[in-house]
Amino acid sequence: MIFWITIATLSALSLLVLLKPLMKSAESAPADTAESDLAVYKDQLEEIERDLSAGNLAPTQAETAKLEIQRRILNASDGQSSTTSGNPLPAPAIRALVWGLVVSFPLGGILLYLQLGSPDLGGQPFAQRDIAAEQATIINQQENARNSEMLILAEKLEARLKQDPEKPDGWMLLGSTYAELQEFARAEEAFRNAEKFSPPSPVIYGAIGEMLVVQNNGQVTNEAIKLFRQSLELDPRDARGLYYSGLALAQAGDTNSALQVWLTLRKTTQEDDPWLPVLDSRIGELADTLQLNAEELIATAPALSAALPESQRPVGPDSEDMAAAAELSNEDRQAMINGMVDQLAERLEATPDDFEGWLRLIRSYHTLGRGDDLATALEQAEKAASRQADASLASTQLQDLKKELDL
């Protein structure tokens, strides 16, 4: 209550200062001005008489000056009459108006706030605020804004690809972007367009099949199974084909076969592949169902410790990705690629120990010529390398990358 009284008092005092000139009598200002002018003109007439007596002015000059001053006196008299004519508000009425405004404005503001505001909302001392939740909200807002921008760019790319559709790389980039934005139906359509204009590819078959699974709430449909089989015919070690084939078997109740497929996949999986934790979780679920020891099963199918060759390692957006987005203008294409890289950077902020992720980000920044961001990524990669199980190997990999990029 004290707070509201203080606000109302300050508002009233501010209005009182602003409206104080209205409390002056309406008749006084014009009349005072006219009387002052007349006094000046009378002094001028007396000065002319003195100059005429002293011989400083000729009679003709004196007469002319007198006529001019008399004309001004008449004009001043007319102005005084016109400004004081009419029915101005009396001083008591003006004072009543001013005080009415002083009281009504603060009161009206308080009533409006009580109607539209949240007067019952309690204060939030810093110690009681959930800073982590507030930061998460800000990050979500930024991500939503970036996703909206990426969606606009993707739609521009799609429009241009429809005019010149024989660009499978462009369709694949579009599909990956839509998948990142969780526009799965549109991603599927883009991948199918890529299939039309390219030779049979396990990557394209797997991408289409994965979009079908996602749109069916994780259920592997018959159409998706057919696509994953096609991908495995072209590449028996295709990770996506093996994973979803195992998932289809598990959903069909063939737990033993699903377990064998996933153990096979694990043997061909790199230790730094992002899907390894998901795969191990799935293997653990099947092991519990079969009443087996999950750790012992996983030990029988160790993941590959050697890193993939540089030519096969995913590096994020590079010059080929930019060329695939050639249908966009230079500005839009650059914004699209930068948006994808920024999303990777945001993920790494949440998982700073992802050393391979930092290597991919370094490559992306180097390709895009973002020198300041590249320097920051190198620092974070060095910190991540020191936290790896084999810090020496990670440090060597980072140094090799620096040499390769001439950093």
DSSP code per residue over 271-296: TT-TTHHHHHHHHHHHHHHTT--HHH
Cβ atoms of 210 and 176 closer than 8 Å: no
SS3 332: helix
Confidence of residue 91 (pLDDT cuts 50, 70, 90): low
SS3 130: coil
183: CB partners within 8 A, 6+ apart: 151, 154
Q: Count the Cβ atoms, other than its own, within 10 Å of residue 339.
A: 19
pLDDT value for 323: 45
Give the DSSP H or E segment for 224: helix 222-234
Segment 93-122, tens digit of pLDDT? 767 776 777 677 777 777 777 777 666 666
pLDDT(208) > 90? yes
pLDDT value for 393: 84
Confidence of residue 131 (pLDDT cuts 50, 70, 90): low
pLDDT value for 213: 93
Q: Count the Cβ atoms, other than its own, within 10 Å of residue 377.
A: 23
pLDDT value for 102: 66
DSSP states of 298-344: HHTSPPB-SPPPTTTS---S-HHHHHHTTTS-HHHHHHHHHHHHHHH
pLDDT value for 305: 67
User: What is the average per-residue pLDDT within 257-274?
Assistant: 85
**Residue 111: C-alpha distances to residues 13, 99, 104, 115 (Å):** 19, 19, 10, 6
pLDDT(369) > 60? yes
DSSP states of 51-79: HHHHTSS-HHHHHHHHHHHHHHHHHHHHH
Which one is predicted more confidently, 122 or 320? 122
Give the DSSP H or E segment for 119: none
Segment 177-204, tens digit of pLDDT? 888 888 899 999 999 999 988 888 889 9
Q: How far apart are CA 149 and CA 147, in angstroms?
A: 5
pLDDT value for 180: 85
pLDDT value for 193: 92
Out of 16-20, 97-101, 294-298, pick the least confident. Answer: 16-20
Q: Which of 43-57, 77-91, 93-107, 180-194 has the highest mean pLDDT?
A: 180-194
Cβ atoms of 312 and 306 closer than 8 Å: no
Q: How far apart are CA 358 and CA 382, in angstroms?
A: 9
Q: Which domains does the chain have, with CATH numbers?
A: 162-299 (1.25.40.10), 319-405 (1.25.40)
pLDDT value for 326: 44
pLDDT(129) > 70? no
Please give, one letter per residue, the 3-state secondary structure of 172-204.
HHHHHHHHHCCCHHHHHHHHHHHHHCCCCCHHH
To the nearest whole number, what is the mean pLDDT of the chain? 76
Query: Which two structure tokens, joined as six digits, stand for 32?
Result: 């005072």
pLDDT value for 332: 58
Cβ atoms of 297 and 263 closer than 8 Å: yes
Cβ atoms of 351 and 357 closer than 8 Å: yes
Out of 63-72, 156-165, 236-245, pick the least confident. Answer: 63-72
Q: Which amino acid is it at 401?
A: L
Cβ atoms of 197 and 175 closer than 8 Å: no
What are the phi and psi torsion angles at 304 (to 5°)? -70, 130
Residue (of 369, 365, 335, 324) closest to 348 by Cα position:
365
- Could you tell me which residues are beta bridge partners of residue 304? 270
Out of 83-87, 330-334, 392-396, pick the least confident. Answer: 83-87
Computed from CA positions of residues 2, 5, 11, 17, in that sequence, does the dihedral angle turn out positive or negative? negative
User: What is the average per-residue pLDDT within 21-30?
Assistant: 52
Query: Which two structure tokens, joined as six digits, stand for 335?
Result: 């914004």
Q: How far apart are CA 381 and CA 387, in angstroms?
A: 10
Cβ atoms of 242 and 261 closer than 8 Å: yes
Cβ atoms of 174 and 148 closer than 8 Å: no
